[in-house]
Amino acid sequence: MLHLRLSPESMHTSLIIRAYCGSEVDIWSLGVILYALLTGTLPFDDNNLPSLFQKIREARFFMPLYLSAGAKELIYRMIQANPLNRITIPEIKNHAWYNFNLPFYINIMDNTRSEMETSVEPSLFAAICEVSLGYYE
């Protein structure tokens, strides 16, 4: 059984430097969990802690060849170093891999699909990420 715990290997960059940028961090974490569920391993691993943190900051990880193209694309879009480039919840819900064989009752109960997303004011989010993460361009 795979056990996930709060460890450097499963942490988002902003948590390592003690900042939280909302749902973008949650999407990163879900990407790490999805990767772990599909591969049985965590995406980031290194015996050297500074090297591990560098891999996490750069979102540099190995994608196994046996994963489907859709799964790979979704994981890559979830685990983006720059939170401004990360896939959103509505985009995940409309992604082909997510919707493949999705039971009808889940689809019909989902009242958030294609509706307006609740978000932080873009300029505020950009300022937080610029100060905390140095990502905003």
Tens digits of pLDDT across the chain (137 residues): 444 444 555 555 554 445 556 777 889 999 999 999 999 999 999 999 999 999 999 999 999 999 999 999 999 999 999 888 999 998 998 999 999 988 877 776 665 544 434 455 667 666 666 655 555 44
- Tokens standing for 91? 């985009």
| pLDDT value of residue 1 | 46
Q: What is the pTM of this model?
A: 0.67
Residue 10 CA to residue 86 CA, distance in Å, equals 17
Whole-number Å distance between alpha carbons of 96 and 102: 10
pLDDT at 13: 52
Tell me whether residue 37 is in a domain: yes
Contacts of 32 by beta carbon, 8 Å cutoff, 6+ apart: 4, 10, 42, 43, 44, 79
Residue 1 lies in a domain: no
CATH number at residue 30: 1.10.510.10
Domain that holds residue 42: 8-132
pLDDT the model gives residue 110: 61
Domain count, the chain: 1
Could you tell me if residue 3 is inside a domain? no
How far are the Cα atoms of 67, 76, 95, 96 from residue 70, in angstroms, in the given order? 8, 10, 8, 7
Q: Is residue 49 part of a domain?
A: yes
Q: Which two tokens stand for residue 66?
A: 């046996």
